[in-house]
Amino acid sequence: MIVGLGNPGPGYETSRHNAGFKVVDLWCKDLGLSLSSRRFRAKAIRAEFRGNSIILLCPLTFMNLSGESVRACAGYYGLETHRILVVHDDLDIPLGRIKVVRDGGAGGHKGVSSIIRHLGSAGFCQVKVGIGRPRYGEAVEDYVLAPFYADERGLAEDVLRLAVNACELFVLEGVESAMNRINCQNLMN
């Protein structure tokens, strides 16, 4: 199961905090799919990707309640925690970088904290999409809910594409391969 984190509603659509939603949406477009189901308090779809059965899920709860949706879906399909990949924004990683991790913590991310709490484990994998820190002294809460700065938008699109690639590698080759091939890339260069 690939989980993209974000906040529902048009007011959040372009925010940095919706990086997870954007990655899942991009991958759906590539695959000619749309998240049509409304089960598990989420937009979701079951699909095949190169012979692998996958579930793409974007919780429709707000970020700090994401774990409710993830737990409901994982429980319904009997998914083991290590077969879940959560895609989300990360303030502590600069824009242009992505970090794929296994058994990571929340790092202050409320959506990830909610998933850990509801699954009772941090044993899932993560794709942390770097969004960097505020340039102009904005409060962190305002920064993550704002769009990328105008001069960052092209780089942000490239980073989201790389995150889609990380998801594909996770499904096809496993988390180790995704870590080895993605974590060393820096799109700022």
Q: Is residue 189 part of a domain?
A: no
What is the per-residue pLDDT for 164?
Answer: 98
Strands 98-102 and 85-90: unpaired
Domain membership flag for residue 138: yes
Which CATH number characterizes residue 16's domain?
A: 3.40.50.1470
pLDDT along the chain (189 residues), means of 10: 95 96 97 90 95 96 95 96 97 97 93 97 97 96 96 97 98 97 92
Q: Is residue 165 within 8 Å of residue 35, measured between CB atoms?
A: no
Residue 129 belongs to what domain range? 2-182
Q: Which residues are catalytic?
A: 17
Query: Which three-class secondary structure state does DSSP give residue 124?
Result: coil
| Number of domains the chain contains | 1
Locate tokens 């998240």: which residue? Answer: 35
Cβ count within 10 A of residue 8: 18
What spatial distance separates the first Cα and last Cα of the chain, rounded to whole Å?
32
Within a domain: 48: yes
Cβ contact 96:81 at 8 Å: no
pLDDT at 106: 93
